Chains A and B, each alone.
Chain A
Amino acid sequence: MNEKESVKTTKRGSVLVVGGGVGAMQSALDLANSGFKVHIVQKDSSIGGTMVMLDKTFPTGDCSMCMISPKMVELGRHLNIDIHTLAEVESVEGEPGDFTVKVKQKPRYVDPDKCTGCGICEEKCPKKITSEYEQGLTVRKAIFSLFPQALPNTRAIDRDICIYFKNGKCKACEKFCDAGAIDWEDTGKEFELNVGAVILSPGLNRYDASVRPELGFGRWPNVVSSIQFERILSASGPYQGTVMRPGDKKHPKKVAWIQCVGSRDSHNANPWCSSVCCMYATKQAMTAKDHDPDIEPTIFYMDIRAFGKDFDKYVDRAKEEYGVRYQRAMISAVREEAGTGNLIMRYAGPDGTLIDENFDMVVLSIGFEPHAEAVEFAKIFGIELNEHRFPKTPPLMPVETTRPGVFVTGIYQGPKDIPETVMQGSAVAGSAMALLSEARGTEVVVKEQPPEKDITEEEPRIGVFVCHCGINIASVVDVKGVAAYAETLPYVVYAGNDLFTCSQDSQEKMKALIEEHRLNRIVVSACSPKTHEPIFQDTMEACGLNKYLFEMANIRNQDSWVHSEAPQEATDKASELVRMAVARAATLHPLYEKQIPVNQKGLVVGGGVAGMNAALGLADQDFEVVLVEKEAELGGLAKRLTATIEGANVGDYLDELIKKVSAHPKIEVLTNALIISFTGSQGNFTTEILVGPQMIQRKIDHGAVIVATGASEYQPKEFLYGQNPRVMTQLELAERLQKGEAGDAAKVVMIQCVGSRNEDNPNCSRICCQSAIKNALQIKKVNPEADIFILYRDIRTYGLLEDYYAEARRQGILFFPFDPEDPPVVESSEDGVQVSFKDQMLDRPLTVKADILALSAGMVPEDTEELSSILKLARNPEGFFMEAHIKLRPVDMATEGIFVCGTAHSPKLLSETISQAYASAARATTFLSQTELTLSAVTARVEAEKCASCLVCVRSCPYNVPKINEEGVSEIDAATCHGCGICAAECPAKAIQLSWYEDEQIMCKVDALLEGVL
């Protein structure tokens, strides 16, 4: 244990995170990686939240579990994150910086220190109940883990149904538990935590569709909820990924989705929009078709809210490549066809005719709603809720609550999708960091390891540990036989068995054996290195062994689990796998992770709202920041904004912000500045800038870059813009309204999606629907009798913005949808602009003589062609910067150490920009907060003499790392190399070797396998 000397501060260097979903995980990791201790308090028996229940995610189609497991594993192993499951907060007292939190933890009845997660107790438990996790589609046991990849993987006993607790019998779990982990005496515990900030991320409940019996949920077996459908699609779900309908397990052909179940309904359900359902229905339709090409999906909707980055492209793909049919009509009732189990639904066609259609299966796209205990929960934390029972947050700082020091994030703050949740998770971490920066490092634990032994002169002395893994491996593979075989292999001086090699006591045993037999290479034949390698490496380091002297043979996932009906062959295979592992182990030599110093200074490119907030996010934590702005003034696009739709004054906010930034002692502002060159790697960048009208050259050394180059309003070429003074953009209209002009307009027409969702720019600009409604409401305030017509393709007032759409309609603003193939026609007339369009509802043309025609012009990113080539950053075809991973790393760029935020990433609202700015500051802090960065030792190396400068490696590296140096040969910077090995594989001269995967280290395995065969 090693704690940094406490600086003179009363603030705590730890944070409490309530909740365990992906948002909470991101916050926890960002904070823990920046020097703060994190306590996670989670109500369920495992972390995971909603994301783990999903099958694939949009828009990439990545498997949800595959994406979240690495975060979960990192969290589980993190020295500075304590996870308290089955726990709830009872009270929070104190001040920001110093809170005392009382936590009550329910009894688990299984000792997490002893449990190895083998799962035999669950298998043997006789008591079943419908599984809430599998949405009632199958059963779970009284002793259970929430899902197979649960963390902690310790089972828990559901006291309410356990046979032993109810009538004293059974105890099958205890009988079969080899680790003796069942603890009937567990009483749970109550404890106190002392933290500096509290982050609330408890998520939301899903709407219960059985409240709407006319839709047939709970009545007709082949009507399922969307979350049930996720489980049906999931390979680890009740049907193992085969799309079947629950009623008769037939394969459905015609599947219908009904959108907005439980949402956008102020009469019978919840008035807000749940933000994700349009996208997830599209994803489900496409995924279902991937599983079964015969499926014909139809989605019944009102507006398709594909407002996120590249989401419209995704929906277009669904329509064009997958043939998903989108029908703009809501369903009144789902009727079951007697005898067949099929569903009959009636809907209004585009020409008004009523059509009855037969479907095999219906999926209800249910929305989110606050937990039933939302009010009590808020009381415990002392925060106020709004009328919809979501936390009350200031319009321009969505993670803050009415109680300083208590923050909110994720869907608890408002319905949103995974990328936004991850972003907001980082944002809230950034806010907490800003609050507690002086206490950084005061509560974290740093690992101390004994000095490394020098084994380079020694012959390999390999220890082989063959794991039983309870019965997971041992029930199929003869593990004792495999260990005996291992002893016969070259260089093996010890071979033995463990019941669970990963358990605490096995680690102690391993340490003792390493000493006893002077082992200098370790082979573990057990499960997957992905999850367990770090555990064994830790043990090795504790004994002074280099962690790269380790090899694992997976005789579980790759053997016992897949060959359970062929035990003899499985045992033979296990022996072969061990032989291969031993051969490799003998070739391993120590590798050293380089440490590079970090220049704890940030460079922010762009001085708009995003850039300024990012700069403050870093500067308030005492990091030095250089803010580079190409114009003469700070402010960016926000200079043209007037007010947010909630009514916050943007001008005042901007003035304050500029003042703060200009006066901040840690921020240096360079205006009229142009970046001309950029070199280096994470922690050590060097940027050259020409500043001011005199073009003075400056050289800045810094550790991180945050790109916030922003966007501007599209200048329309269509609809008489520029030719008729009555035609203006929404920004121009807002400016005029603020000046008091345009208030006497009697008839106003607004056309949406100008410059967006077309061939040149296939995406949605996200802010235009709310911007139009904002201006329309403003006009109505000045002139209540004004007639305002909004011509749209989809109204995208997502989340809690839906309230404003309802208010707009209430005030008499009229909305008319149009098809892109049949846009409105605009003609000049002497005293107005004649706008003609089709009223689809009555199927007839309508024309309005407008005093003002407002065009909702989209957002185009600033021209960053030159900048992106200097910084070597990728942009998508529309010119927005491409992040490392759209879902999991939404503010990171592919190049380590570079981050992006604001509209440079994609169109977004001012509040979302501010959020993302704080997120990027938080992400940058995860390494800026360290004085040194430890690089992975797994990097590629070029042997200069063999290099022919053919450039194959330069072209094949996805991270643009290999460069031709002054000597004319390829050189790979270990600091930026990601260790993927592509260059090593591609190099025709075999001039590149990847450490730890050198040719010899791979080939020896093949040779070992084919021993005696070739």
Chain B
Amino acid sequence: MDIGYYPGCTLHASSSLYDVQSRRVFNEVGIILKEIEDWNCCGATSAGKVNDFLALAMPARNIGIAEADGFSEIVIPCSACYSRTLVAQKRLEDDPILKSEINTELTKKIQGTIKVSSILEVLLTKVASGELAEKVSQKLKGLKPACYYGCMQTRFPYKVPVPDDVENPQGMETVLKVLGAKPLDWSYKTDCCGASAAVNDEEAALNLMARIMKDAVARGANCLVVTCPMCQLNMDSYQDQICEKQEIKERLPVYFITEMVGVAMGVSVEELQIDRHFVESAELLKELNII
């Protein structure tokens, strides 16, 4: 089946591996991700700090496009893009004047009826139907992931229909259990990694990332699994720096949920581009005889 797909800017840039993985993995379970036409940047968390109207208008345009393209559902893997789009949809629903103000400038007008889904929501439908389990050819035995959700996936600045429990989400854990891994509970699963502060306020962000690392390591996790490309980039590219400062010997590979699904389905590390991580991520899988 076809589903609308909004990759967002970063999935076509530094997190392009997430885009590759998503397409591949969804394909396996019969979902074709159809990128919506001529989408624009959603503004992420920056637009809200510049102008409130713009912060809604930017992601809202994509809703109009997706609906005009004929999709009933659109999946957005990037947590920030997902959050902004969901909030925009709800804000416009609650404020018809605002909606018409934005629509006057758009060719593809927003109805606001499309289902905006996170990547986990779509994956979970395949878990519920059993189709994901069928495709598992290689159980992820020995993997003890700490599922890290971050902020944008879990908490929203407006009342929206939340996809999972706000304080103790279980989406990744559910998927990983089907894949044969043993995710563990830990105290930092929805804590902030610092996001863009890693670039513009490094010291603060590093402290945040350090706390997350410490708890995951103390819990005995052997990897982190994420859905947000910003969290992945941060925890992956800064891990050496943090661990050296905090004198942590261990390194935890930071996998995208799609990488986990892909590996379990037997897709190669190269195809999934797992070899593009900063922290060496294929070794662990080899050690556990998963690949």
Q: Which residues of A contact B (CB under 8 A)?
A: 212-214, 219, 333, 335-339, 344
Contact = CB atoms under 8 A, between A and B. Distances in A.
Interface in B217-255: 218-220
Contacts of A213: 165, 167-168
B92 to A, nearest CB: 23
A936 to B, nearest CB: 59
A338 B215 contact: yes
Q: How large is the interface on B (under 10, 10 to 19, 20 to 34, 35 or more residues)?
A: 10 to 19
A213 B154 CA distance: 13
A212 B218 contact: no
Contacts of A214: 167-168
Interface in B160-203: 165, 167-168, 185-188
B215 A212 contact: no
Contacts of B165: 213
A337 B186 CA distance: 9
B167 A339 contact: no
B27 to A, nearest CB: 35
Interface of B: 165, 167-168, 185-188, 215, 218-220
Given A212-B167, A213-B165, A219-B168, A335 B187 contact: yes
Nearest to B170: A213
A338 B221 CA distance: 11
A515 B167 CA distance: 74
8 contacts: A212-B167, A219-B168, A219-B185, A335-B187, A335-B188, A336-B187, A338-B220, A344-B187
The CB with the most chain A CB atoms within 10 A, among B165, B168, B187, is that of B187
A416 to B, nearest CB: 31
B218 A339 contact: yes
Contacts of B220: 338
A732 B185 CA distance: 59
Nearest to B188: A335
Contacts of B215: 335, 338
Contacts of B167: 212-214
Contacts of B187: 333, 335-336, 338, 344
Nearest to A214: B167
A336 B186 CA distance: 8
A215 to B, nearest CB: 8
A213 B186 CA distance: 12
Q: Interface of chain A, helix or strand or loop or mixed?
A: loop
Contacts of B218: 337-339
A219 to B, nearest CB: 6
Interface centre among B168, B186, B218, B219 (most CB of A within 10 A): B168
Q: In the A-B complex, list the 8 residue pairs whose CB atoms are closest, starting with the nearest.
A: A338-B218, A213-B168, A335-B187, A214-B167, A213-B167, A338-B219, A336-B187, A219-B185
A344 B187 CA distance: 10
Nearest to A213: B168
A336 B188 CA distance: 10
Contacts of B185: 219
Nearest to A212: B167
Nearest to B220: A338
B159 to A, nearest CB: 10
Nearest to B219: A338
Contacts of A219: 168, 185
B214 to A, nearest CB: 9
Nearest to A336: B187
Contacts of B168: 213-214, 219
Nearest to B218: A338
B186 to A, nearest CB: 7
A338 B220 CA distance: 9
Contacts of B188: 335
A219 B165 CA distance: 14
Nearest to A343: B187
Contacts of B219: 338
Nearest to B184: A338
Nearest to B169: A213
Nearest to B186: A338
A335 B212 CA distance: 12
Nearest to B190: A214
Contacts of A212: 167
B213 to A, nearest CB: 12
Contacts of A339: 218
A328 to B, nearest CB: 24
A178 B215 CA distance: 58
Given A213-B167, A335-B187, A336-B187, 10 more contacts: A213-B168, A214-B168, A333-B187, A335-B188, A337-B218, A338-B186, A338-B218, A338-B220, A339-B218, A344-B187
A354 to B, nearest CB: 12
A213 B220 CA distance: 22
A338 B212 CA distance: 12
B173 to A, nearest CB: 13
A339 B215 CA distance: 10
A338 B185 CA distance: 10
Which residue, of A212, A213, A336, A339, has the highest number of chain B Cβ atoms within 10 A? A213
B72 to A, nearest CB: 32
Nearest to B165: A213
A334 to B, nearest CB: 8
Contacts of A337: 218
B216 to A, nearest CB: 9
A336 B185 CA distance: 10
A344 B211 CA distance: 13
A337 B214 CA distance: 11
B77 to A, nearest CB: 25
Contacts of A344: 187
B113 to A, nearest CB: 28
B161 to A, nearest CB: 16
Contacts of B186: 338
A20 B215 CA distance: 48
Contacts of A335: 187-188, 215
Nearest to B221: A338
A344 B218 CA distance: 14
Contacts of A338: 186-187, 215, 218-220
B172 to A, nearest CB: 15
Contacts of A336: 187
Nearest to A268: B166
B285 to A, nearest CB: 24
A344 B188 CA distance: 12
B48 to A, nearest CB: 21
B140 to A, nearest CB: 22
A335 B186 CA distance: 8
B187 to A, nearest CB: 4
A336 B218 CA distance: 11
A339 B167 CA distance: 22
A214 B220 CA distance: 21
A219 B215 CA distance: 16
